[in-house]
A and B are shown apart, each in its own frame.
Chain A
């Protein structure tokens, strides 16, 4: 399947395997098309997870990762793309309804926006919170002091 993709799309896709797990690194511009094809033509009907990884030293700081599974083929695949800080990714809610909360969590933790998401807002942290905790430059003890002081009426949450 991946070799077929490779021959159709050429340099935008790099199929890789690590420890027996297949994944492909896809160019940001081809993401909507590739995800759609995986869903419709390759029967990856279950979107297991969407997440991101932050690499602050890279020019394209973020990896966005889709973990997909196909019930009929009993097969997993991961799709990965690299994006710049501030760049958005097309939402996959129209493809898999499950993506809704998963994308909101990525936005909440990394500040990556998903275009076309029906309800792009924070999910685990409070609405007015400043900062994106899973970025590498966000310290483990760091918090939004202003939010804590106003909303909880205490000096610090530590």
Chain B
């Protein structure tokens, strides 16, 4: 006799989900994957092609930069910060030097400030060029990579001539600059600007109205301004969602308050808008460099700082607008020659947190586009 009553004593509950959901699939992407821009591992939960959720596994490039900082003098730690966001090494150096200067209560002389702005903005161009080339390559457009790398070379040449290094430049020193600019620096930067301005149009010609590009980026990886703020996302990603916020304007550091420039924003917060914002940012950077070259004052490039730096005990949080977002340093001094604690607030690390939210409901192929559009550098995520 098999009616429902006899089965009742077995207490078989109907599971809410079937034991095996044939549609759900967990796949692993990375850590060695060309489109993760380094060693990022992403575990994707998929329903067919649709992303249900994902988890980032990071730390493959962890070198303990913050620990190293506690065991080096202020001067000795300076080159290490270049190796975090290695495509925007100059920005890292600017943030670090300014933070230590605040601890020491010194300020870099005007000429040094101008040269710093020029080199940092050139670095923003280089970083955005690298982003554009690799991002477009991930999506399937190969040409922009060659164009951007060709033009980025000119910036690296200026760096090489200025300080001998191309990527991890260690361009700034605490208190100013180690080197005076070389003969013809101003002319070469000017030449570069007139060379580079039409190049931005060239990139835009390749992509802005390109149907494949638009289809692959429009309405992909949308994030609202509210979510950006809740997740602490900064930089071009925040601005593409409609928040007009840039630390260079909000809390000017270096001498950015002397320059006239706009903060480009967009409204949709999708991958296409983030592309537009970064392109517009390049044009603004060109404007800033132009003004800085015009107004470059004469004078010393190094403030009076002691050979052995012993900042008075205290703690400072200082942040700058790096190409990827807010890059902050929190340094605690105990009055000795070494920092008691160096904390780096990396923009890539915090921005990467938004990847899960931005990819939900999208297709697997879009995950690649979203990782590209976040513009992360794993050296900075992992430190």
Bound complex: CA A91 to CA B294 (Å):
50
Q: Is the CB of B230 within 8 A of A97?
A: yes
Question: Which A residues lie within 8 Å of B232 (CB)?
Answer: 46-48, 96-98
Known: A49-B328, A124-B58. A76 touches B317 (CB 8 A): yes
Q: Does B257 contact A (CB under 8 A)?
A: no
Q: Is the CB of B332 within 8 A of A53?
A: yes
Total interface residues on A, CB under 8 Å, equals 34
Known: A48-B328, A53-B332, A134-B66. A98 touches B353 (CB 8 A): yes
Nearest CB on B from A67, distance (A)? 5
From B59, B66, B227, A123 is in contact (CB under 8 Å) with B59
Question: Which B residues lie within 8 Å of A125 (CB)?
Answer: 59, 62
Q: Does A7 contact B (CB under 8 A)?
A: no
Which residues of chain B in 296-354 are interfacial with respect to chain A, using CB atoms and an 8 Å cutoff?
A: 314-317, 319, 326, 328, 330, 332, 340-341, 343, 345, 349-350, 352-353
Nearest CB on A from B54, distance (A)? 14
Interface SS, B side? mixed
Bound complex: CA A51 to CA B231 (Å):
16
Total interface residues on B, CB under 8 Å, equals 41
Per-position binary interface string of chain B over residues 3-42, scored 1 when its CB falls under 8 Å from any chain A CB and 0 otherwise: 0000000000000000000000000000000000000000
Q: Does B382 contact A (CB under 8 A)?
A: yes
Bound complex: CA A65 to CA B316 (Å):
12
Bound complex: CA A125 to CA B233 (Å):
23
* Chain A residue with the shortest CB-CB distance to B71: A140
Bound complex: CA A97 to CA B230 (Å):
5
Known: A18-B314, A19-B316, A140-B68. A97 touches B231 (CB 8 A): yes
Nearest CB on B from A104, distance (A)? 10
Per-position binary interface string of chain A over residues 18-40, scored 1 when its CB falls under 8 Å from any chain B CB and 0 otherwise: 11010000000000000000000
Q: Is the CB of A101 within 8 A of B315?
A: no
Question: Which B residues lie within 8 Å of A109 (CB)?
Answer: 66
Q: Is the CB of A124 within 8 A of B62?
A: yes
Q: Does A128 contact B (CB under 8 A)?
A: no
Q: Is the CB of A101 within 8 A of B229?
A: no
Apart from the given pairs A48-B345, A101-B349, 9 other A-B contacts in the complex at a CB distance below 8 Å: A19-B102, A48-B319, A51-B330, A51-B345, A53-B341, A74-B251, A97-B231, A124-B383, A140-B68
Could you jot down 29 A-B contacts, CB within 8 Å?
A18-B315, A19-B102, A19-B314, A21-B316, A21-B317, A48-B232, A48-B317, A48-B319, A48-B328, A49-B317, A51-B345, A53-B332, A65-B330, A71-B245, A74-B251, A97-B231, A98-B232, A98-B350, A101-B350, A101-B352, A101-B353, A109-B66, A124-B59, A124-B62, A124-B383, A125-B62, A134-B67, A134-B341, A140-B68
3 interchain residue pairs of minimum CB distance: A98-B232, A124-B59, A49-B345
**A contacts, CB < 8 Å to B:** 18-19, 21, 45-49, 51, 53-54, 65, 67, 71, 74, 76, 78, 96-98, 100-102, 105, 109, 122-126, 133-134, 138, 140
